[in-house]
Structure formats: C-alpha cells, structure tokens
Amino acid sequence: MTFEYTPYILPLIAAELVIVSVAFYSWRHRSTNGALALSLMSISIFIWVFGNIFEITGVELETKYFWGVFKYIGVAFTPYGWLIFSITYSDRAKILTRRFLILTAVIPTITVLLALTTKWNRLIWSEYHLDQQGDYFSIGVSYGFWFWVHFAYSYLLLLSGAVLLIRVLWRRQGMYRWQVVAMLIAVLAPWIGNILYFTGNTPFPFLDFTPFTFTITVTAVAWAIFGFRLVDITPIARDHVVDSMREGMIVLDERGYILDINSAAARMIDVPIASVIGKTAEVVFRPWSHVVERFRDVMEAKDQITVREGEEERSYEVRLSPLKSAEGQFMGRVIMLRAMDEEALQQERDLLERRVQQELAERLHTQVLLRESEERFRQIVENANDFIYRTDVNGNFTYVNPSTLKIMGFASEQELLGRHYLELAAPEYRHKLKRVYEHQFLRKTKSTYYEFPAVTADQEIVWLGQNVQLILDDGQAVGFQAVGRDITELKQAQEALALSRDQALGASRFKSQLLSRVSHELRTPLGGILGYAELLQYNAFGSLTEKQHSIVDNIIESTNYLTVIVNDLLDESQIESRSLSLHNEYFNPAELLEKIRNTMSMLANKKGLAFHTEIAPDLPAELYGDMNRLQQILINLVGNSIKFTKTGEVRINLKRPAPALWSMEVRDTGVGIPVSDQQNIFEPFRQVSNSITRENRGSGLGLAITKQLVELMGGKIKVESSAEAGSLFTITLPITNAPGE
C-alpha cells in the first residue's frame, strides 16, 4: 500500500483526538446513564474516521478500496450506537432487551459483511474507480442495492434517536438549555453533512463530509459533557424534582454556583430564573446572609428558617442533600424549600412537643423493661445448672454464679473474685489453656470450646467443658464470658470406652495370632495324614478290601475338608491383621477361565449340572493382577453354586462393562438366597440356614474372604438373588496397567 500526505486529513486527525477523549471519558463514567452507549458510539465514529483518513491518503485504487470498505464497520454501526445512546439517555432503557439489541443490529451486521466482500457481490458498490480532481485522486463508486437499504435504515435510526433526544432536551431549563443547544448541534450536524454530500453541494464534491460532521457531533457532545456535565449532574439532579413541584429546588455545584433553579424556588426568593443561573449562592441569597452562613459547610440537613421581608416574616422548611457521581465524588448540593404558614408552624411545634413526650414515656418504659429483663436474666443465671462466670481482659474473675462455686467447692464468690482463672486449672494444663485464650484474644475469635481438668477447693480433679465468648466494646476486647458444665462423668465414661476398645483390639490381635499359629500347626499333620491316606489309596502298602478303600476315601475327604477350613482360617487371620499381600503380574484371562473349567467342571458333571464359560471379545488379552487369588475367588463362588444347585446349570462370564473395568459373573439356577439374608452372607462364620446348607458342611468363611480379597484388589462384589430363583454374583475390578489403557 502507498500513501501520500494531503491537508484534508488534518481536521480528521483532530477529530480522532476529540473522539478518543470522549470515548475514554465516557468509558470511565460507564455506570452513569447513557455513558456506555456514548462510548461505544464514539468507537464506531473513530473507526469510520480512521478508515476515511487512510482512504484519502491512499494512492492506488486497491488501497483506497480496502480502506473504503473497512470504514463501513464504523459507517454501519454509528447510527446504531446513536440510537442506543438516545434511548438510554432519554430514560427508556427498559426497551433495550436482548431481543431488541440483536434485531436492530442485524442490518448493520449484514452491511459490514457485504461491504467487506463487495468486490464479489456488488451489493454495496456495484462499481468503483479512481476520480482525479486536480492533483487529488479520490475513489468514485456506483452504489448497489444493499447500500440503499443500509442508507434508509441508518437514516431511520438517526431520526428516531434525534426525536428522542429533542423531546428530552426541550424540557431542560437554566444551564441545561445550553445542553439543548449542544445536543441540537450534535443531532443536526450529520444530517446536514450527509445531505450536502449526496446532493453535491459541498466545496469538495469528491470528499464525504459525513465523518467531518460526525466529528462536530462528538465535539458538541463533548462540550455538553465537559462544559455542562451531561452524563454526571443531569440524571441525578433532574431525578430529584421537576418544575411542576410546589417545593422549591436549587442545585449548586461544588463551588457554590447555582446550576439550576425551578419556578417555585424563584418565586420564594423573588428572582427571575435567567438572572441567577451561574451566580454564587452568596450573591443570590444576600438578603438571607445569615441563612447562607448557617448552611455554608453543611452537606446534609433538615431544618426550619425564618426570613424577614420588610414587616413580614416567612418560615421555610429547608432540606439539603449532597450530589455525588457514580464513583462517589462530591459534585454539589440540592436545596429543597417548602413554605410554612402559621398553622403549619403550630402543627410542627405540637408535633415536636408530642414527640418529646413519646420519647420520654418510651424511655421510662424501656428503663422499666430493662430492669425487669436484668432481674429475669439474673434469676436465670443464678439458678442455672451450668457454671457461668466472667473475667476481665487479663483473665481475673469479675463474676461467678452459684453453680461455679458449687462445682469448684467454694463457699462464697469472694473467694474467687479477683483471682486468675489459671489458678483453678490443673498445673499440667495451664500452659495449653493460656495459649488457647491468648489466641482467641489476639484473633478476636467470638467463641471457642475447650475441655480441661480443674482443681477444686478440696484438691479434687474435675473435668470442665466450656464455651468462652469474647466480650467486645466498640470493637475492643474488654473481657471473657464462659458458660460450661462438669463433664467428669462423661470423661470417665470415655476413658472406660477407650479401655474397652483397647482390650477388644488386643483380643482381636490375639485371636488373629492364635488363628494364624493354629492354622500353621494344623497344616503339617494334615499334610502327613493326607499323604499316607493317598499311599493307602494307591495300594502302596498292599491291596485293600472294598471296605478298607471306602474308609481311606472318607479319610482323604475329611482331610481335604479340614485343609480347606485351615486355609480359610489362615487367609482370614492374614486379612484381619493386614499381613496378606497380593502378588500382581500380567496374566491371560482366558487361561484363568480354562483352569477354572478344568477344576470345577468335574464337580458339576457329578451332580448332573451343565457348566458353561464365556469371555467377552472386547476383554484385553492381558490383565494385571494376582491370578492365584482370582482363581481362589472363582473357586469359592463356583463351588458354592455347584453345592447349592440341584438341577440346571452354572455359568461363568468374563466381561468388560466399562473401558476401565472388567468383571467376573457367576450365575446358577440353585435355591437362591432370601433378601433378608443377603446383607449377612459376606460376614465371617455366617451361613444361610436351609436344608441344603445343613447337608453341605462349611466354615462360613468363603464369601467373607472373597469379599475382602475383592476389596483388597480395589473392586466390588454384589449379589442378585431371591429364594428358589438362583443367584448371580458379580465382581467388578479395575483394569490397571493393562496394555493400551
């Protein structure tokens, strides 16, 4: 892009500086009525003028085209911003709903999009070229269809905003009439400039004077802002009164100059409105000099004044209120005057006299109630079972109730008053107690609770639990107040419970140690018995008769049963003592399932039960865990299913219910488990009582060990069953460190 200097841009640059000032000032005061909309409108005009500067200074056609369409961002949204500003400033912001803002912004948004792509769509500029005017080259355009839609819509927005502003500004008086002048200039300038440009009546037909005139608009608004505080004083002062009120209103700035006065106030002080605007209160109220001195430095007041006019005296009620900006900055005062006749004055005197007599009677009544309340409070405190006492800020007793004396074994309060509270604490607790209440004092904690042993007058130990409140006076700590009770029996009960708990834990540890030792001691002889019995079974010592074989089979069966019980007892003791550890490694779930099939299918076949296994195709080929313990879990569950199923089938399914979980399901068609017993079956040594359990021996540890092993692996086990309807045990385990996870 190539650019060259032209003096035509100087007023535009000056306009940009003014626009930036207005936008910045309005943004700082955005909480004030209309200021935010004014700031956004200024930004749109800034973009318009900014694009115009580079369009004017561009040399090539494409440079002028680029900046010519860029400025449409401001061209399209300046009328939109003007409408929003006008609606907000005219106190009609309730119509600015989200729906209204979106709908009114549709055409400006479409205009910007079509302008940025007009080279292809030809809807804004159907054709563009370079025009030469002497030494200056400008861009000449032919307008497309959508330009005229935008043109008509923009003028509709400008007209609507102008009507709203003129209706509001026309009612202004005094100094605000200059605001009317400023805002009328702001309203009319863009209309005049745009009409002159489109009719070709400007001194420079090749230049669009609209951004120049919008600069005049912003300058006029700035004049209203900086000169007359358009966005500061007007919304505040005018909200207080209107000219139709019977009360007089006078608005002063922070220096005491009169900014506004209504008709009623002008009549009261007998001055024309036009002659007092801009003068100081001292000049205007010179006949009332004593009143001026009386309220010179008063920001807020309500009082009565009497002024003499010749032989006549007039009385007024005066109210002063401060004017502040949205940021809380002092900007002036509003004076309200209300004339009072003699009857009104007498009514005021009577009202004041009656008020003094409500107040005296109320004060006496309050004092009586206070004495009664104090008496009731003292009776409650004196007869309370809890001990109640107060100390000064140093911790010395200033009051103790009878319960305190009774608990601590003192005959009279004189024995305690003046003593330090730490003197009553057990020596070994004094340091802790002192630290607790020093922290409460330093941090100004309102209430604390603490338990400690105290020494009575008879040198006995009592435990006290007390709530201590910090007594504050005007934010300063002046003492402490305590309410508490004797908790000696509670402490003794807690100590007894702690002792019982320790004894129970000791007994449990002894039981675990005993189970572990007995289990280890039993496994060796059982192994020997089983070995010799198996040798007899295989005729190692000679042939056996049929009866002898039957006896040996019973010995082996009983030995195996005892071995299972011993192993269960050993596992239970290890789990309870937290000494059982898992040996995790990668394993193949299909291999695990095959081992269970080989081990348990024979037992199922002996009972005439069908035995099925299934593995889900999405289950990983390798899992991480303790395969031996998983095998133990499945053997426990499948063994129970076979044991408690007379007809039907037993089924094992390995599934993947979630990406990070895998599950083992054992389902049977057995007798089922009543709902009332399902909460107990996982407890050690607990069994469901029915005919089948009586026929099948067991230790009652299988399911308890299974549940504890599952939880040790980070999983969960649940049962779904009902009487005579079979059972489904589901174990869900996390997929940990599996390949691809």
pLDDT tens, position by position, 488-546: 888 888 888 888 888 877 776 766 666 666 666 666 677 778 787 888 888 888 888 88
pLDDT at 237 (0 to 100) = 41
Higher pLDDT, 153 or 371: 153
User: Which 8-state DSSP code applies to residue 718?
Assistant: E
CB 217 within 8 A of CB 190: yes
What whole-number distance in Å separates Cα of residue 379 and Cα of residue 359?
Answer: 30
State the pLDDT at residue 105.
Answer: 92
Q: Which residue spans of the chain are classified as CATH 1.10.287.130?
A: 493-576
Sheet holding 661-668, edge to edge: 610-615, 649-658, 661-668, 727-734, 716-721
Angle between helices 176-199 and 233-240 (to 10 degrees): 130
Helix (DSSP H) and strand (DSSP E) numbers for the chain: 25, 19
Rounded to whole angstroms, the Cα distance separating 613 from 596 reads 9
First to last CA, the chain: 57
Question: Could you give the CA distance from residue 725 to residue 644 in angstroms, rounded to a whole number?
Answer: 12
- Decide the pairing of beta strands 258-261 and 248-253: antiparallel
Give the H or E element holding residue 164: helix 145-169
CA-to-CA distance for 78 and 85, rounded, in angstroms? 10
Q: Indicate if the pLDDT at residue 458 is higher than 80.
A: yes
The per-residue pLDDT for range 258-279, each reduced to its tens digit, is: 877 777 777 777 777 767 777 8
User: Over pLDDT 70: what percentage of the chain?
Assistant: 75
Asked if residue 380 has pLDDT above 70, the reply is no
Q: Is the Cβ–Cβ distance between 243 and 260 less than 8 Å?
A: no
pLDDT of the residue at 465: 92
Angstrom distance (rounded) from CA 398 to CA 106: 77
- Highest-scoring range by mean pLDDT, 104-118, 171-185, 668-682: 104-118
Q: Residue 469 and residue 372: Cα distance in Å, rounded? A: 24
The pLDDT tens digits of the residues spanning 439-453 come to 999 888 989 999 999
The pLDDT, as a whole number, for residue 697 is 52
Residue 304: its pLDDT value, please?
76
Question: Residue range 403-415: average pLDDT?
Answer: 89
Work out the average pLDDT over 303-315. 71
Higher pLDDT, 723 or 616: 616
Give the pLDDT score at 475: 82
CB 260 within 8 A of CB 176: yes
Quote the tokens at residue 650: 């037993």
Instruction: Let me know: does 665 contact 730? Beta carbons within 8 Å.
Output: yes
Question: Does residue 517 sit in helix, strand or coil?
Answer: helix
In this predicted structure, the answer to whether residue 682 has a pLDDT above a threshold of 60 is: yes
Determine the distance from the C-alpha atom of residue 45 to the mean position of all C-alpha atoms in its chain, rounded to a whole number: 39
CATH fold group of domain 7-231: Rhopdopsin 7-helix transmembrane proteins (1.20.1070)
**pLDDT recorded at residue 238:** 47
Domain at 384-483: CATH code? 3.30.450.20
pLDDT in the model for residue 232: 44
Instruction: Give residue 569's pLDDT.
Output: 67
Q: Where in the chain is the domain with CATH 3.30.450.20?
A: 241-340, 384-483
Domain 493-576 has CATH 1.10.1610.10: no
Q: What percent of the chain has pLDDT over 90?
A: 24
Q: What is the pLDDT of residue 14?
A: 77
CATH 1.20.1070.10 boundaries in the chain:
7-231
Q: What is the pLDDT of residues 187-204, one digit of tens each?
A: 666 667 666 666 666 665
pTM score of the predicted model? 0.38
What average pLDDT does this structure show over 1-30?
A: 77
Q: Which amino acid is at 197?
A: Y
Give the chain's mean pLDDT: 79
| Helical H segments across 58-129, by residue range | 61-70, 72-89, 98-104, 106-116, 118-121
Architecture per CATH, 585-734 = 2-Layer Sandwich (3.30)
Q: How many angstroms separate the Cα of 121 from the Cα of each of 91, 114, 125, 127, 219?
A: 41, 7, 9, 11, 37
- Which has the higher per-residue pLDDT, 238 or 523? 523
More confident call, 591 vs 333: 591
At 590, is the secondary structure helix, strand, or coil?
helix
Supply the pLDDT for residue 280. 82
241-340 folds as Beta-Lactamase (3.30.450)
CB 64 within 8 A of CB 52: no
Helix 35-57 vs helix 61-70: crossing angle, to nearest 10: 170
